[in-house]
Amino acid sequence: MLYFRYWSRGFVLFLGFTAGFAVIAALVMLNKVAFFDEYIINVVQSAESPAFTSLAKSLSLVGSSRQAIGISLLAMLLLFFLLKHRLELALFLCVGLGSQLLNTMMKLWFHRERPNLHRIIEEVGYSFPSGHSMAAFSLYGAIAYLVWRHLHRKFARILLILIAVLITGGIGWSRIYLGVHYPSDVIGGYAASGAWLMLCITIFEAYRNSQRQIGNKPVPSA
């Protein structure tokens, strides 16, 4: 049994991310984000330079499916063989596979075309929500959560979260800079992946704590 008292904090965050995505999705469908998207794209791309272009392409590569799969496989090998964390491996798989499936389904549902203002690279497929942003948020968010649980120093935890935020934010910035996503695609991707990540973490924590409580129950005497 998954006791409700273990769900509170994670479930509140899940509801917050879900509400955020619902608002963004509604605005996108009603075409109420055109001014915001164009303004942010112009601001980001106004800083175009060979150095920024090289950085954006590198960050975009880090957030690509191929790189995400490679990093995921390495993390799973460490969790399974080195750390022996079978339950954490299940969480990691659920977050990654679920995020990919959700992105595919939502792109087919919303059918939003990619921006055509100034593309530095070419991409195919629909635009909303950003697949790179969802993959980055779920992958590095899951890694940060799993590593954070085993860190005890405050500085190490802060550094871990900072690195995860910078990588995830940088990948989102790269997709806008390269002209293949609207800012609302990126923000929507973060919100959708954040909701899924928090739901998975909530269920994981509830199950882990319920199992711990079952293990602490006294054995009845004969």
Domain limits of the chain?
4-210
Contact assessment for residue 24 and residue 188, using Cβ atoms and an 8 Å cutoff: yes
Cβ-defined contacts of 205-214 (< 8 Å, 24+):
205/6, 205/7, 205/10, 206/2, 206/3, 206/6, 206/7, 207/2, 207/87, 208/87, 209/3, 209/6, 210/1, 210/2, 210/3, 210/6, 213/3
- The pLDDT assigned to 38 comes to 93
- The pLDDT assigned to 220 comes to 42
CA pair distance 219, 216, nearest whole angstrom = 9
- The pLDDT assigned to 217 comes to 56
Report H helices in 150-182. Answer: 154-177
- The pLDDT assigned to 85 comes to 66
How far is Cα of residue 101 from the mean position of the Cα atoms in its chain?
13
pTM of the model: 0.86
CA pair distance 93, 197, nearest whole angstrom = 11
- The pLDDT assigned to 147 comes to 82
Candidates 221, 174, 209, 172; CA nearest to 52 is 174
| Series of mean pLDDT values for 10-residue runs along the chain (222 residues) | 57 92 95 93 92 90 71 68 70 87 94 88 89 91 85 87 92 94 96 95 83 58 38
- The pLDDT assigned to 204 comes to 87
* Exposed/middle/buried for residue 80 (C-beta within 10 Å: 0-12, 13-18, 19+): middle
One-letter amino acid for residue 159 of the chain: L
One-letter amino acid for residue 25 of the chain: A
Residue holding tokens 């800083």? 47
